[in-house]
Structure 1
């Protein structure tokens, strides 16, 4: 056949492989539905890792589901301005250290660390950071927002301070009554970390609707973490 092809100048027809049909995208349902993901990622401001922990899956599954729902736009490796979405992808999905990220974006490690704390993005140092001893003894699952605050520096003490704020005349009066300083800064850091306002700066101080829900769960957690006092023995009155 090769000799015939050389004499006649004919070649064998090119074999074409059957083109593979593109699969149809099946809408995700349940916890991975677009509506549920939009509420967790955009409304509540949770990171990939926090959503993955709540739904019990990997961060990669969450990223794919967000992209499938049209909630995730492609991001470049070298952004002009560091955004929450970009830093979340670098820290959580790609599991990169802040030192390597700092070399690309022109920010210092300290600046990136502050951004991650304000946006509630866990870094590779946060994943193994232990909970405060009173909370760790409970051995119960925590909501992502509470866990985010508790693993921060002095998070348990800050929550106890914020819990006492509603009804105080002002933040300055609260500092004097509670015997602390920098309360305004501490409250602002927690609110930036959570993504919503806890305390309205009114006279007297009052909790917002979201703050009331958060403070109620905080009060329940602190009450459960308090050590049990032994019951006093019953003594009969003379």
Structure 2
């Protein structure tokens, strides 16, 4: 049985089974990337809901795992060399889990790096821009009389969706096969048109390839399960 007692986070979120991957997350577009990946790979894991609405990522126990105070993060009790490994940043976790299982990231070097570039596209562009639209359209920023910030981020989000639309022309997935690039991006596009209700800002209805790709992705049973893990506290 693995010993995770040296990780302060396990004092607040104890591991019922310390021999499996411990997931500390919340069902946001960033959080569900990892739960979807874990569901897709079939790896055994134990989810812990870290309630970001109550600032639970800013306590010393969580910050000892992720000094950036964001979800998701994991502890793999059987990391490289069969030693516990802690990781934060969803993109890094996706790459790690893909390499651990040999799934959703090609072993061909060129395809591998091209897949990673699309993961970075989501991390560096889609996530931050869509999140800003969410703030200025859905949350506190929606009350701002000056709509220039919202419109600036909406325009950039529209451009990014255009990049994705072009990439998906003649393709079912971002790469030739379903990969971590799709897993990284699905939750963000779903959230943008769903929870943020921002499709009208970017003329989402005019797109063809992105909506079809989103429908294909959301039809995957592992994606559906992952979108609801960990469950939001009632």
Question: As a proportion of its length, which structure holds more strand?
Answer: 2
Higher-Rg structure is 1
TM over 0.5: no
TM-score w.r.t. the length of structure 1 is 0.29
